[in-house]
Structure 1
């Protein structure tokens, strides 16, 4: 695969020079949704799907970008002196945003680059194609300019800064962290309040992780994602009038129930309830996995979806159809929406002997109900971003 990308790179930009290759994965979150910007816990894992980058240095300050996923756009050209968001820049706003965030922190980018990108994460699927591209760019800059003291956790934080403040989506840290810090066959139990984390082996005896893509694309910048974050921040301020807390993730379910009336709006109250209860579900789910109680893990996934559907209201008709069918099938231990919501994918834990039937039956019925196909990925958990 690397050879094919290099050949395409040389067709576009010419031969010669030191060509380097990088990869950063997408992620799926097993449980812990919309908790990462509320100071709670998340439990994502890196996928073997992701974004590849081929890079060569230039002697000037020019930047040239080409994506094999958007070939009709051709080479998009800009420079290190023009790192501003621009609608015409299309997908290149994501790597440009990371370059902007590097420079803002004092990491000077001394010269331009020719860059080729290819990603095999379905666009708009909720598997973090944007975070993957941001972490890829961060690793590329760290390696190219010799920023050896920059850790991969810091690369993740820079990617989040770029998404928040350059591209306008107020995401939490989970997606970039999972892409930067993934570990094969492990999920990351991350406390987003402190960035303390541990790797938990994902040992699913006789079961597989199956991602189902609804083919309903979401756009978090244009969606109600930022509204949800604002609602939680307002709810937190209301609770802080009664409680000495810094985030919703600090509350137990019991503490929330005792003080929830401090939140004056019923919609904000439901948003905060999800953030608190989902955090506690995530903690219990990781304990269940450690104890090889995959059935309990699955039940908590089901509860997570119900909360995301009713209290956080980030699901949609197509996703609910997929989850309802999955939860009703023998051999399915748990199923839920994953990612920011408003479309995208579900994640399910499915017994090995039920996987083929799951894909066949749900695929057929989904197409009958909504009029288009779903896509299915029986996934492996991979490592984080790397130099190839």
Structure 2
């Protein structure tokens, strides 16, 4: 969902009634945040470590059960509206945002849940395609809402897996579990260290000591299904097939840098997977180092880890872009910035930077124009406030 159309609950209910009409059936309201990943990129689908947090931007969903075996989808962000029968659920609906809630609905039906129809209105202020998990926000809020209104009593972790399966199997993006998990389990004022294989996680207070997390959006458009994302997944799978017999690992998140060094000869005929796996092993080590540095209040060390993460994503995993590199370079040129890196899948999207709160305005005033001069693009900037995960919002009653 785009970063426009941020509206009050009362206005959203008015919009809902305008689109779908009034009914005696209650309208329930839910919210799921986006997320920003502070360090630990491209480690989730290999069963490795990540360190994300929820953000204050997200997706609001108003939903009403209809009992007519029809499903209507609308958004305040886009003009497209869809009305589907149950037999139409199992196929994608063009190439647009509706596939995310549609994929979730498909997963519920495949799990044997009888859903007798609903109307739903989405409104989001997470920038689309920016690496802040706008899609996971839609998926998780949809799963959470269906679970509530249909009384299916799935656990929050079950809803995360439903949402991930929707993205993997319906949308076709082979993401790991991080985005959906972070959107569901985020806590105010915390980031989480998540093991994406075991899903063990630990909430870590973000004690930033008068520093802020600033997300900078390149506004370079990218379509991940058409990018090299799934190619990276395939390269990592090839690497696992080579390494598993020699090391006994079952997923790449288990591999240590010293183990990889002992088996580099396996990649003499195919060096690209070696580059990818070197990033993954070193990135997992960076997450292990980042959390204690943050807990100890060593923000400069945390910033250094962010910088090393970006350099590895640029040089070894090759998922950065010129606009991303320009934003990172310009951020690092500001003497008060402790660290800056791309966040998300890359190929465009956003960077995340750590700097003193008192310097945020000057940072934006300096980096913004310099970025436009270098790229012809206009960046957007957001100061992130780590917030709670998916939740119900109190019903709104119009007078």
Shorter-chain TM-score bucket reads over 0.9
For 1:218 and 1:45, how far apart are their aligned partners in 2?
23
Q: 1:162 is paired with a residue of what secondary structure?
A: helix
Question: Does residue 62 in structure 1 map to residue 67 in structure 2?
Answer: no
For 2:194 and 2:32, how far apart are their aligned partners in 1?
19
Shift of residue 59, structure 1, vs aligned partner? 2.0
Question: Does residue 6 in structure 1 map to residue 10 in structure 2?
Answer: no
Question: Does residue 97 in structure 1 map to residue 106 in structure 2?
Answer: no
| Consecutive unaligned residues in structure 1, runs of 5 or more | none
Question: Does residue 34 in structure 1 map to residue 38 in structure 2?
Answer: no
2:364 aligns with 359
For 2:17 and 2:244, how far apart are their aligned partners in 1?
58
What do residues 317-363 of structure 1 show as CA deviations (whole Å, max 9, x unaligned)? Answer: 00000001111211100000000110000000011222111101000
After TM superposition, list the pairs within 5 Å mapping 1:177-196 onto structure 2. 177-196=181-200
RMSD across aligned positions (CA)? 1.1
> 2:32–2:137: 8 Å Cα contact kept in structure 1?
yes
Question: Does residue 22 in structure 1 map to residue 30 in structure 2?
Answer: yes
1:272 aligns with 277
For 1:198 and 1:315, how far apart are their aligned partners in 2?
29
> 1:85–1:167: 8 Å Cα contact kept in structure 2?
no
1:155 aligns with 159
2:5 aligns with none
For 1:154 and 1:282, how far apart are their aligned partners in 2?
26
Could you tell me the TM-score, scaled by structure 2's length? 0.94
After TM superposition, list the pairs within 5 Å mapping 1:1-388 onto structure 2. 1-16=8-23, 17-71=25-79, 73=80, 75-88=81-94, 90-109=96-115, 111-148=116-153, 150-264=154-268, 265-388=270-393
| Consecutive unaligned residues in structure 2, runs of 5 or more | 1-7, 394-399
CA 283–245 in structure 1, closer or farther in 2 if over 3 Å, else same:
same
Q: 1:210 is paired with a residue of what secondary structure?
A: strand
Q: 2:223 is paired with a residue of what secondary structure?
A: coil
> 2:89–2:105: 8 Å Cα contact kept in structure 1?
yes
How many residue pairs get matched? Answer: 384
For 1:302 and 1:54, how far apart are their aligned partners in 2?
40
> 1:184–1:382: 8 Å Cα contact kept in structure 2?
yes
